[in-house]
Amino acid sequence: MKKNAWTVLLALFLSPFTHAADPVIDAAFDDAMARYRLPGLAVGIIEDGRIVYTRTSGELIAGEGQKIDSQTLFKIASNTKAMTTATLARLVDAGKLQWNDPVAKYLPQFRMHDPWVGREMQVRDLLIHNSGLRAGAGDLMLWPEPNTFTRADIISGLAYLKPQHSFRSRYDYDNLMYIVAGEVAAVAGGAPYETLVRREVFEPLGMKRCQVGDWRPVEVGNVAQPHMRQDGGNVPVRSDGNVIRSSTMEAAGGIRCSLDDMLAWVRTWLAPQGPSQAWLSPAQREAVWTPQMTMPLSKRMREWDNSHFSAYGYGWRLADVDGVFKVAHTGTLMGMYSAVTMLPDKGVGFVILINGEGDEARTVLTQVLVKHYTKRDPGLTVAHYAGLIAAEEAVRPSEQKAPDTSKRNVATVTELQSRLGVYRDPWFGEVSLCRDGAAVRLRAAKSPLLNGIVQRVGDRWLVDWDDVSVDAEAWLNFASGKTEPDLRMSKVDPQADFSYDYEDLAFARVRGCP
């Protein structure tokens, strides 16, 4: 096809359509917005290639009056992963890469804790969460942002992360392997990851507002900021500066897009025939949506969705819902939540973007939208699913809940005198545990937000981080014998985000405090 003809077809394919409100979806939108007091929400739906519903509400920054619209940029977080795998799939189509190529073919420095695993790991293994590492292993090199870890640090740090399971034996979600995948793409494609994803995804699909790498919010405009709940309201957190710099975690979760961009993305996947077929071959479309790694089938999936299988493809989660094939993924960063869901057999896909603490809101709204197309039961509302989640929480075992740490006191220098010093972990680097006035402060050298005062709770010690956005406090567990690491850490709340992978740290004391 000549370039001009392709351009005309693509323009028609991506052109906007008139769409009317849907009272059922409007009710779900309103309930989710009010029930969870979201600062902003954007929802869009595609049916048979047409945008049939878009709605936005809220503000870029709560209380400042700038309204969210379909062009507003949101962090899509781990929905980036499917764009990374699409970039790789385009390189496979171009003959520059094979899914079963060894990672070391492109990155000779690549190592895992077990040298055999490092040699055997293929490009496909980077994408399907089968590395044998615990969920979120090494994520403290990515989050909380900002920090000074580089992609080279990620690749070298993997050699020190001890596996919890055998290679390829089970699913455990892994962000670091997607960073490696982005670097493999850069070598195979002959350009930095950021350049590749623009060239292979944004430009051919007309995703004009999507941003990756270095950019200036004041020039791009209309950028939603993340929020957290505080004192009953929504407060901006980790707001953008004057310049957004390319971050270490781009390939795993660093892209920002608008609702219109994400609907163009969904429409491309739901239309395997027509102009989008020129973008990606049928063989690679099939590979990306083929179950590659079995995932656990949860009690919730069985009871809510009558699901019989759950698996991970290349950057997508695959399952059945009420006998209908579902392709989906979510994205989560501090103060930003996204969801992309497709029911290919029905020609339906939808996008949810939130710029606040929206974990449960995303879950229940996704369920209502899915059921709108698979079951059409008027009783399956936001309130219904919120009630089911509340019932689950009510019977959650006590060992899965955060302990009461309200009776705490600032630890004194005298109490921790024998423990003060600088400690080093082979992949995370150094932390200092040193005097701060009459108190003791723990400070991570390469992760500035991991900085807080040590507290005593009974006979245990925890770190109360200064920055309220670091929402997972850590226990400090000091060694009692010479055969153990001098210091380990663990999450106070067992349900805290797995990316706070304190459990993977093993510190040795290397010197005294300055």
pLDDT at 274: 65
Euclidean distance between CA atoms 307 and 299, whole angstroms = 9
Judge whether residue 14 has pLDDT over 60: no
**Mean predicted lDDT score pLDDT of the chain:** 94
pLDDT digits (tens, 9 = 90+) for 325-364: 999 999 999 999 999 999 999 999 999 999 999 999 999 9
From 12-26, 122-136, 174-188, 402-416, the region with the lowest mean pLDDT: 12-26
pLDDT tier, 482 (very low <50, low <70, confident <90, very high otherwise): confident
Judge whether residue 3 has pLDDT over 60: no
Q: Which helix (H) or strand (E) holds 336?
A: strand 336-343
Beta bridge partners of 408: none
Task: Say what percent of the chain tops pLDDT 70.
Answer: 95
Q: Report how far apart, in Å, the C-alpha atoms of 208 and of each of 159, 259, 500, 505 are.
A: 38, 11, 34, 41
pLDDT digits (tens, 9 = 90+) for 367-381: 999 999 999 999 999
Judge whether residue 26 has pLDDT over 50: yes
pLDDT at 17: 39
Judge whether residue 508 has pLDDT over 60: yes
Q: How many CB atoms lie within 10 A of CB 106?
A: 18
pTM for this prediction: 0.94
pLDDT digits (tens, 9 = 90+) for 417-446: 999 999 999 999 999 999 999 999 999 999
pLDDT at 12: 36
Judge whether residue 10 has pLDDT over 50: no
Residue where the block lists tokens 């939208």: 369
* 373 and 52 Cβ atoms separated by less than 8 Å: no
- Is the preceding peptide bond at 144 cis, omega within 30 degrees of 0? yes
pLDDT at 276: 66
